[in-house]
Structure 1
Amino acid sequence: MLAICTGLYDIHLRGVVGDMVKRRWTISVLLMGSLLALAGCNEKPATNKPVHEKEKVTEPEKQPSQKPQEQPPKEEEKTPVVVNVIDPNTKSIIKTFLPEELGFASNQDSYKQEIEQWAKDLARGTNKTAGYDQRMVLDKIAPNGQIIKGKPLIILDETELVNRVMTASAEGGEIELPITVTESGYKPEDPAHLSEVVVGSFTTYFNSGVVGRSRNIELSAIAINNVIVGKQDIFSFNTTVGPSDAAHGYQPAKEIVNKKMVMGIGGGICQTSSTLFNSVDQVGVSYIEKHHHSLSVGYVPQGRDATVSYGGPDFRFQNTTGVPLLIRTIYAKGKLTVEVRTSAAYKGLIKK
């Protein structure tokens, strides 16, 4: 009986174990199927790497470092040398020079000659432009005692200007024109006393019946009457009288031209200039310009004449007496007198 029970128990146990094995096997199959299903869902193309592996980033191959090719050093651009010439009155640039372009470095002599010609034209003027140089127009005393102002003497120093440009041409820069302005050399209180004493006088005569000539002498005498010639002032007959043409009231009269007597507007004014010369010659002025006629004239001694022509020969002198002077003219029928006067206080100071 026991054996039967034991056998039955074994049979039963085997059944139980078999059922358990079957269940485990079934569970295993199901589990494997699930895993296969999951593996199928996560499947990637064959070219892809396994999920557990990190993708490696391929870096570009490093080329061997090359030193940049050295460029030749650039030459520094030179700033051109520029010389600006300034007008000291207006402060404006009147001329700009580029010395290098004009050959300053290669031919300095030629460069200097060009600057000299420019300076000459600038000072004295050309046919198209007026120069900086200006003759002095002397002041006059009007009949009412008021002063009629003239113009100062203006001189542009050509030599100094050339030197300044040449010096600046080496490195460039600005230079000013070397201009000298000279006012008349007398004091404000002088005019009231300059007519006090006569220190020089001369008289010439003419035929008052020759109307044209007489009128020309009169007009030129009026032009120089009561002119103040200050210390060191330069008197110019042509500048003081101006054009002796019909527009200014001058008339036709005989005059000497190339050793011949010809009719011309303004004939006779040389008698005024010659009379003035013989008067101022008594006080020892210095002469800057004086010319003789090509023929002898009868109104002054031989060689004592001073011919003039506007735009041509001039009679010019400088007052080197050391005191201011006054020119006084007295025109009468057939007679012209020119006096040189000054104040009584200055009479004894005149240098002769």
Structure 2
Amino acid sequence: EDSGLYSIVIKSFDRLDFSDKLIPTKVVNPIILEEDISTLLPDVKKIIDRQMVVTYGSDRWVLEREDLLELLAFEREGRVKMTLSEAKFDAFMEEITNEVNQLPKGQVTKTDGDRVINFEITKEGREVDVAKFIDDFRNAYFGLKETLELPVNVVEGFADKEKYGIYALLGEGTSHFAGSAQSRIHNLTLAADRTNGVLVAPGATYSLNNSVGDISAATGFQTAYIIKGDRTVLGAGGGVCQTSTTLFRAILFSGLPVVMRYPHAYRVSYYEQDMGMGFDAAVFQPSWDLKFKNDTAGYVLVQTSYDLNEQSLTFKLYGTPDGRSVYIPDPVVLSQSPPPETLYQDDPTLPKGTVKQIDFAAWGANVILTRTVRRDGEVLFEDVFKSNFQPWRAIYLVGTKE
């Protein structure tokens, strides 16, 4: 019994009495008994002994027996009847809406300094018709249907573009990728293209992973080097972290709150071509993401561009300025450590005499980057971004194949 247990714990601490205590309990009688649902078991079996698929275009969400069972609940309204588990269905619906819903996209086409002269809506959005989906799903679930088409509405955006509040540049970030392999350049520009034009509603949180979508060969990404665990290995999407790093810089200079940011495991030379240590952000799906919150009165437009000749990538965030200013001092390097001794590993798949470098040495460093955001002379918030870059050894494969 919660209140009784709370009282015992508080009194025990007050008296410094740490002897064993009897936990208070109370009897809770179930509203629905086993015999109440026994007559419903044949219908339950029909519901769960099948596969149900929700479709939208080429996308499919497959519900197997266990999934269908988790969605089932019982309620008593005079007699006991079957219903959908609200918590489980809401979680399933959230998964679908996160994948399907897209705001309209826009583009700033003309500026005068930081001021926006012209802003256009370039792509319609889409949104799950939640009310219809709830009704359709309930009917399909209890009607034993095997497939259900997801109802989706087109979101055309405001007819009046002024309602978006895209008035001026809030902040921008740039990085360079000189020396990158062609596959890495392909990946970072593809990710930038997919984030370009996203409109973030007031109060909403932007996710880079959601903007980019699935990072795999199936979605157009090529194989390039990524950091996985304690090694640098080839994987789909190598180079996308250049995109997240550049966006992180734009978020910093715009004064928008950073909700999620991860540093890289070790220092990456690309990100120190134009800025100091600590101005990077790593992403690794599904858990590592870069997120920011739009805490302004209008929408925020995420706009990207890249110059393959200059080998540069730029993110610009446009919106409604509210007078905030940003102060970012130079990063503070607390300590540095040299890379471990070079490692040579025999590789029976490489011809004898062949030496191939698969990892590159980098000094370790503990770095702190701070940011202060003010408005009208008052501090809105302060950030501390910590990066613990590991010292990284060079690794060579030595061929032993005769």
Which residue number in structure 2 is paired with residue 134 of structure 1? 98
CA displacement at 1:310 relative to structure 2: 3.2
2:304 is the counterpart of 1:329? yes
AA partner of residue 124 (structure 1): A
CA displacement at 1:133 relative to structure 2: 6.1
Which residue number in structure 2 is paired with residue 347 of structure 1? 321
> Does the 8 A contact of 1:137 with 1:152 survive in 2?
yes
Which residue number in structure 1 is paired with residue 204 of structure 2? 233
2:261 is the counterpart of 1:290? yes
Q: Partner of 1:222: helix, strand, or coil?
A: helix
Q: Partner of 2:304: helix, strand, or coil?
A: strand
When residues 131 and 273 of structure 1 are mapped into structure 2, their CA distance, relative to the original with a 3 A threshold, is closer
Q: Partner of 1:250: helix, strand, or coil?
A: coil
> Does the 8 A contact of 1:186 with 1:231 survive in 2?
no
When residues 326 and 131 of structure 1 are mapped into structure 2, their CA distance, relative to the original with a 3 A threshold, is closer
AA partner of residue 192 (structure 2): A
Which residue number in structure 2 is paired with residue 88 of structure 1? none
Task: Tell me the matched-pair count.
Answer: 216
CA displacement at 1:332 relative to structure 2: 0.9
Percent of pairs with identical residues: 26
Q: Partner of 2:170: helix, strand, or coil?
A: strand
Structure 1 counterpart of 2:282, from 302, 307, 310: 307
CA displacement at 1:347 relative to structure 2: 2.7
CA deviation digits over 1:199-239, x for unaligned, max 9?
20111111255101011111011111122222112211111
When residues 326 and 132 of structure 1 are mapped into structure 2, their CA distance, relative to the original with a 3 A threshold, is closer
Q: How do 1:76-225 residues align onto structure 2 when only pairs under 5 Å count?
A: 97-98=74-75, 118-125=85-92, 131=95, 134=98, 137-141=102-106, 145-151=120-126, 188-190=160-162, 194=166, 197-207=168-178, 210-225=181-196
AA partner of residue 318 (structure 1): K
Using CA pairs below 8 Å that are at least 6 residues apart, which structure has the higher relative contact order?
1
> Does the 8 A contact of 2:304 with 2:316 survive in 1?
yes
CA displacement at 1:189 relative to structure 2: 1.9
Q: Distance in 1 between matches of 2:280 and 2:86?
A: 36
When residues 123 and 193 of structure 1 are mapped into structure 2, their CA distance, relative to the original with a 3 A threshold, is closer
Q: Partner of 1:273: helix, strand, or coil?
A: helix
> Does the 8 A contact of 1:275 with 1:338 survive in 2?
yes
> Does the 8 A contact of 1:307 with 1:313 survive in 2?
yes
Q: Distance in 2 between matches of 1:150 and 1:223?
A: 14
AA partner of residue 138 (structure 1): L
When residues 188 and 207 of structure 1 are mapped into structure 2, their CA distance, relative to the original with a 3 A threshold, is same
Q: Distance in 1 between matches of 2:291 and 2:201?
A: 14
Q: Which structure is higher in strand share?
A: 2
Gap runs ≥5 in structure 2: 1-35, 38-70, 110-118, 131-154, 325-374, 381-402
Q: Distance in 1 between matches of 2:234 and 2:256?
A: 33
AA partner of residue 104 (structure 2): D
CA displacement at 1:294 relative to structure 2: 2.0
CA displacement at 1:145 relative to structure 2: 3.9
When residues 192 and 98 of structure 1 are mapped into structure 2, their CA distance, relative to the original with a 3 A threshold, is closer
When residues 268 and 282 of structure 1 are mapped into structure 2, their CA distance, relative to the original with a 3 A threshold, is same
Which residue number in structure 2 is paired with residue 252 of structure 1? 223
> Does the 8 A contact of 2:217 with 2:236 survive in 1?
yes
When residues 97 and 257 of structure 1 are mapped into structure 2, their CA distance, relative to the original with a 3 A threshold, is same
Gap runs ≥5 in structure 1: 1-79, 82-93, 104-114, 156-182
2:315 is the counterpart of 1:338? yes
Q: Distance in 2 between matches of 1:184 and 1:319?
A: 21
Which residue number in structure 2 is paired with residue 61 of structure 1? none
> Does the 8 A contact of 2:251 with 2:257 survive in 1?
no
CA displacement at 1:131 relative to structure 2: 4.6
AA partner of residue 139 (structure 1): P
Q: Distance in 1 between matches of 2:294 and 2:129?
A: 17
**Which structure would you say has the larger Rg?**
1
Q: Partner of 2:259: helix, strand, or coil?
A: strand
> Does the 8 A contact of 2:104 with 2:123 survive in 1?
yes
AA partner of residue 328 (structure 1): Q
Q: Distance in 1 between matches of 2:190 and 2:206?
A: 18
When residues 122 and 294 of structure 1 are mapped into structure 2, their CA distance, relative to the original with a 3 A threshold, is farther
> Does the 8 A contact of 2:104 with 2:121 survive in 1?
no
Q: TM-score, normalised on structure 2?
A: 0.45
